[in-house]
Structure 1
């Protein structure tokens, strides 16, 4: 480079005479160097790079300079947004002035000036600009009005402006706008205003959405009967509105009437959301007849409808025990379908259930590669790997999978919990205890973790005083939880309190026929000399979960 620089800067002692044949085109080319502060493209690139790095101040400064050089109103609009984002009133004022010169719409200018006024706490000016905004008649004016108030830093100020401007006399002839203002009033704590606007909307429009709003308000007020009647009217007014039917069905579920919810969703036009909700209701009720009927109903639809609902069909096939059909349906989920990730996960689970673990883990590995740049999905893919290994009792591999997830999102309490369980099952008790303690540092008093740590300590006959404190805390929070009762009964066994251990474990077993609870109760009974009863109980556990790790361990211990 030094040699090249010398050639450029040192002129020859005797300049050569120019000749027509000796002058090259580049010899006559003068390249103008634009200063960075005058290079529009460089400034725009600098602003975008700053945005990518979440440097809002840097982006605002770059766009403020760019808007002085550009005749594009979009640049001025971006400069305004960025200046407002960093609360730079001076830069926002200049950007708005430039935007106005370049032809911004009146609604756009009023919106920007209202936000500036709100940012500096000038309620009077904010009201003038918001009045100007809604007076423009712009189709998006009232929606923008709501967005401005939602983004304001002072909820009390926003509430005052809402009540002053969004009056019944000024709101447009659009029920959506009325209900949006009522909802905004609720969010800002202006409950009387919200009630007034909502009731006025119902009296004026009498459409399904206004009845649904009134039903929602009645439910919030504790009047469940009125809520049900109002939602019924909403659906009666708009019977083809699937969204309203789903809202009413949700209310019916909350009221404990799942059958009515199922009947309601079965009527009228169907879409993927209504099918998915019907599936959820049938699955929760373990209603095989309803599951089969829904599966057959969708199968009778056109090929396009079946493809659109391929994920739901896969879930239904799983519930019906049609594993091969489920795999076919999951494979039919399109790459552009938002449920494609979940379809791949379910395929892996079905393959695992069929004993094809290599194929299952291959699918999960593909997910980890495909979603390597999407942390949320990558985390789930590692978690699925961990769950599959846990179910296969490959506990070290499960711990490794959860460890990889924790490299994606350190201190994720769900992943720490999964790894803690894997460590405990693998006999790596110190590692398990460390993970559970870490969770309690991040989420003090977490019930699941308190119970897990207490049980792990009790199961390994260590720090029983601490174990008692942890499980007692879990019992206080969940007195009717069989898993917590199991931990308490097992702790009492370790402490030699056999009467309390037996009574607690019997109660837990009566509530839930869980294999671990049954194994613990059987060991207590064996210790008390009731061998026949213990053997009978272990046989029952074997029917429930023949691969249970605790069952195998206990049978080895008790085998003569």
Structure 2
């Protein structure tokens, strides 16, 4: 998705006054989750009653994990949707995505006609980036004549650069049996266009127009697709038609302005932008979003003019300085850009601004200035020494200036020799440079200084598990890390992997499933897939591999897995 379209989408959300997919969000509710839980109407035996009572008391004490696990066990025992719902409500307070997913899935199984668990499962899948699962739950809602918000979901998928091929297949299967479902047809067209299947998308929307020409969302979709295809005249025409149908919907005014900006007609776009700002009380976030649209179209001065009034505010948004700095940098005004970047105060955007400034100076051949800039910033913000040092290390390493990066870290450690975060960073640099023994020695020093450093315990334990056969020591270290941070996906992955290396794949499986639920990246997927294939669950392992390949351009752990287990390749016969 082009950046200009991303910023336009952000502006559209603000203009619509909506929060996309908010009904699906698994985020924690504001009040006690049990106050809205359904009453329990089934009878219990003594053991079951005790279990439910203990869960109830655990929830009242704030021990929501124990409450959720107790309710879930009781739900399984009595096949009670009400208990599964209570388990889900309690699980939302635990920050354990795996537990929440399990509870919501059980609730859905026990109450298949209830839309609430489907919406929640869709939201969890969105948060995980599991787009096929999110769409599957949404399509179940559509089959029940619920508002499935498929077009909104498709927009999220495009923005996230999800692999459209399996998603299009799911939607086409649905539209084949539901040809009059306008939301599904528009979502399908949106993904087809994103996949380069413009003729299919246009034909689908043309057919839909014959039956739903008065549907504003149809014209907005047509405008978006035309814009992405570079057909700016058609994009503007569709936006005008939608505006006629929904004159109060500012998204059409935005779409028209966006088409004009993309077409280089800045003079026509500027009054529309001014109209939108007036309509929404000159909201700073909109100014910044519109400025970014100009900037992405190469219209630097209109962007700059939009942002300069924000400098007169007492509460200038940090993003203002970031975008003005970007404009100055694009114009080659490096010192002016540096002044803007340095004005971002401590808080949101602070580290981003320093990272941009550092990379800008290095790219301009001013690596020494970048080092001095960071040294001054560390003096001004001593509490940010570690992240500022890490910014410099990353930028210098990326530029191939390893000695300068080493010198920066050495200077930081000279100033703060007991900073365990910096010592941890030094150890991990040794690992990245292939010095595994040195890394392990230095990581042991970090642990000696800070025995409760979960990251160091996990890093050393995982390194032992993957580079040596010291599995008992590795397990001890990782279990200590797990006791400190029991919900960490990285630690759960390490714990599962060390059990696998010890020849305990069944014990490993549970940890790896929980790790993948919280962090579905290609490394965790490779570990989980290997455990599955060893346990004769190759079909699920192959699905995991396929998903990892589809969602990541770089997947070295999956590639290594396929060398050892070629039968898991998506091209292999099941």
TM-score calculated relative to the size of structure 1: 0.47
* Greater RCO, CA 8 A, separation 6+: 2
TM-score calculated relative to the size of structure 2: 0.47
